[in-house]
């Protein structure tokens, strides 16, 4: 039975409980970083790391945290992990750090992190919270990567900075601008809901 | 212990938050101090690389190459970088910050004579990714090399005369801000280049 819970916890954020296209959380970063695949990938890894470890840490502390100040403690823990990501990138991947700019710091305000801690980690044991954090992070990451794939390919004709489409391709500048993010996200949610979640929405 | 007592409601949360804060800040301080040298080395590398790029000196982009080239060819005097090339005339590079569309743009601009630029490199910018941020792309910065300011913007792909540069399609305002920064430095060219 225990195994079943882990599997269920892991699978839910990938499909029917996806943080982006079902819970509609973390939209700001979804729109902001998805115009290039490499930024998206690093951002996703940062979110997975932060989400998994802050869920885990808060879950360990959950019986000691006074409920009146739990949000302050959560924010402090999340911020700590985000700054760890930021410093690590700055020291070891400075080029990437430069191109991500302020987005790494904005993981702190990603609603998925706070949302999963409030909704899951406070009620569940550490190992389960860790699984939930990783799965929610992956659920976030794959949606972003799909959107970034389309946006970068149509917006600049490249993938990960390598030219894929030749000179005949006219880049759609709107795809890499903020409106492109809105369009792609809306189209993605529409397709995902129509194709896979008919029974859930009806 | 009384659950609703003064201690549980008032003191305990403060003490708890204090301890959490101390632990978190200690971890971050330790990480910061242990990576400080690396971060400073990275910043120095970026600075030196942009000086070399602005001076038009080609390098392979590795840390060692940039360091040895910089140390053999560049001398720093009052915020200016002077490169006394072997065959060419000496080059003077200055750093300048000006307004961009979203935030300041900092550039390194090199002069091979009081009017002619040896090159431009971007130190930092916050323009729109994919549009204005294309000022960092090599084709854009490279087109200033060997040209004479003040510059005029023309449609992307049509620059021809020695004072024309391509604007970036879809980033008209960033292009204009960038042109203004470059032109303000160019107008100081004689004092920068000759002011030894």
Q: What pLDDT is stored for residue B177 in this prediction?
A: 92
- Is the entire prediction scored with pTM above 0.90? no
The tally of domains found in chain A comes to 1
Q: What is the pLDDT of residues A150-168, one digit of tens each?
A: 988 888 888 887 887 877 8
> Would A74 be classed as within a structural domain?
yes
> Would A83 be classed as within a structural domain?
yes
Provide the domain limits for residue A135: 18-187
**Residue A82 sits at the chain B interface (C-beta within 8 Å):** no
> Would A65 be classed as within a structural domain?
yes
> Would A92 be classed as within a structural domain?
yes
Closest residue on chain A to B130 (Cα): A176
> Would A196 be classed as within a structural domain?
no
Note whether B53 and B119 are within 8 A (CB): yes
Q: What pLDDT is stored for residue B85 in this prediction?
A: 67
Note whether A140 and A41 are within 8 A (CB): no
**What is the residue extent of each domain of chain B?**
52-194
SS3 A78: helix
Residues 6+ apart with CB under 8 A from A53: A81, A133
Residue A20: half-sphere exposure toward Cβ, Cα within 13 Å = 29
Q: What pLDDT is stored for residue A58 in this prediction?
A: 93
Closest-CA distance, B94 to chain A, in angstroms, reads 21
Q: What is the pLDDT of residues A20-67, one digit of tens each?
A: 887 788 787 788 788 788 888 988 999 999 999 999 999 999 888 888
Closest residue on chain A to B7 (Cα): A66
**What's the first-to-final CA gap in chain A, in angstroms?**
30
> Would A156 be classed as within a structural domain?
yes
* Probe site for chain B from A39, A43, A66, A178 (most B CB atoms < 10 A): A66
Answer whether A84 sits within 8 Å of B129, measured CB to CB: no
């Amino acid at each position: 039975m225990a195994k079943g819970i882990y599997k269920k916890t892991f699978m839910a954020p990938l499909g029917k409980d996806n943080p982006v296209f079902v819970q509609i959380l973390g939209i700001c970063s979804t729109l902001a970083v998805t115009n290039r695949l490499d930024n998206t990938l690093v951002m996703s890894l940062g979110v997975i790391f932060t989400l998994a470890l802050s869920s885990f840490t808060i879950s360990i502390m959950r019986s000691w945290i006074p409920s009146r100040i739990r949000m302050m403690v959560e924010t402090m823990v999340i911020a700590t992990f985000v700054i760890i990501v930021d410093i690590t990138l700055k020291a070891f991947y400075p080029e990437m750090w430069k191109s991500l700019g302020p987005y790494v710091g904005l993981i702190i305000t990603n609603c998925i992190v706070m949302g999963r801690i409030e909704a899951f980690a406070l009620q569940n044991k550490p190992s389960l919270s860790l699984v939930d954090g990783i799965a929610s992070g992956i659920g976030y990451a794959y949606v972003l990567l799909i959107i970034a794939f389309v946006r970068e390919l149509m917006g600049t004709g490249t993938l990960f900075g390598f030219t894929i489409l030749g000179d005949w391709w006219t880049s759609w500048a709107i795809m890499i601008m903020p409106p492109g993010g809105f369009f792609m996200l809306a189209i993605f949610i529409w397709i995902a809901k129509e194709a896979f979640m008919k029974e859930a929405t009806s | 212990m009384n659950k609703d007592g003064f201690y549980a409601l008032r003191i305990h949360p403060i003490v708890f938050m204090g301890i959490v804060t101390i632990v978190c800040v200690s971890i971050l301080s330790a990480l910061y101090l242990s990576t400080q040298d690396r971060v400073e080395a990275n910043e120095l590398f970026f600075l030196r690389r942009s000086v070399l790029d602005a001076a038009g000196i080609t390098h392979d982009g590795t840390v060692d190459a940039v360091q040895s080239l910089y140390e053999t060819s560049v001398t720093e005097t009052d915020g200016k970088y002077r490169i006394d090339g072997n065959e060419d005339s000496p080059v003077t590079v200055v750093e300048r910050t000006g307004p961009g569309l979203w935030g300041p743009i900092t550039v390194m601009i090199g002069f091979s004579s009081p009017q002619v630029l040896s090159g431009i490199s971007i130190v930092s910018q916050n323009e729109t990714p994919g549009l204005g941020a294309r000022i960092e792309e090599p084709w854009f910065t490279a087109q200033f090399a060997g040209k004479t300011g003040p510059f005029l913007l023309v449609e992307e792909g049509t620059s021809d005369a020695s004072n024309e540069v391509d604007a970036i399609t879809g980033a008209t305002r960033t292009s204009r801000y960038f042109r203004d920064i470059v032109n303000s430095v160019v107008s100081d060219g004689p004092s920068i280049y000759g002011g030894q």
